Amino acid sequence: MAQQIFVNLPVKDLERSKAFFAHLGYSFNPQFTSEQAACMVISDTIYAMLLVEPYFQTFTKKPVSDAKKATEVLLCLSCESREHVDTLVAKALEAGGAAPVDKQDHGFMYGHGFEDLDGHQWELMYMDMSAMPAQP
């Protein structure tokens, strides 16, 4: 069985966050979605649990970070092409997100990213392994 990852993220407005990520093309598993949480399907093995902040707080005794003021984690997803990276960033901006950093082109590796409505930073990258420089 392939190992799965469930990234848990606090959100202020669950419905607004769901609409944001649906605009980017992601779906939600209704079995694990309620008024307090939504299970966003990123792939067959990657999921983001969007949890309203009071519910998120029940899982930890530490204070919940405000992702608009401090960075606790950078989320990075691989994409199938440079165009896919650009398309997702454009959709995120259309849906109210922001682009906190400039795109980076290293030839074999291309990346850009966005901040979601709650300030979580999502990095997107495409890597062309056939163009990767040889290691000395």
Pairing of the two strands 121-127 and 109-115: antiparallel
User: Could you give phi then psi for residue 23, rounded to 5 degrees?
Assistant: -60, -30
pLDDT, averaged in runs of 10, over the chain (136 residues): 91 98 98 97 97 96 93 92 97 97 94 96 92 74
CA gap 37, 33 in Å, rounded:
5
Quote the pLDDT of residue 123: 96
Quote the pLDDT of residue 75: 94
In the β-sheet with 46-52, what is the strand arrangement from edge to edge?
A: 5-11, 46-52, 37-41, 27-29
Half-sphere exposure of 65 (CA within 13 A, CB side): 11
Per-domain boundaries in the chain: 5-131
The pTM for the full model equals: 0.87
CATH number corresponding to 5-131: 3.10.180.10
Quote the pLDDT of residue 133: 76
Quote the pLDDT of residue 129: 81
Half-sphere exposure of 102 (CA within 13 A, CB side): 3
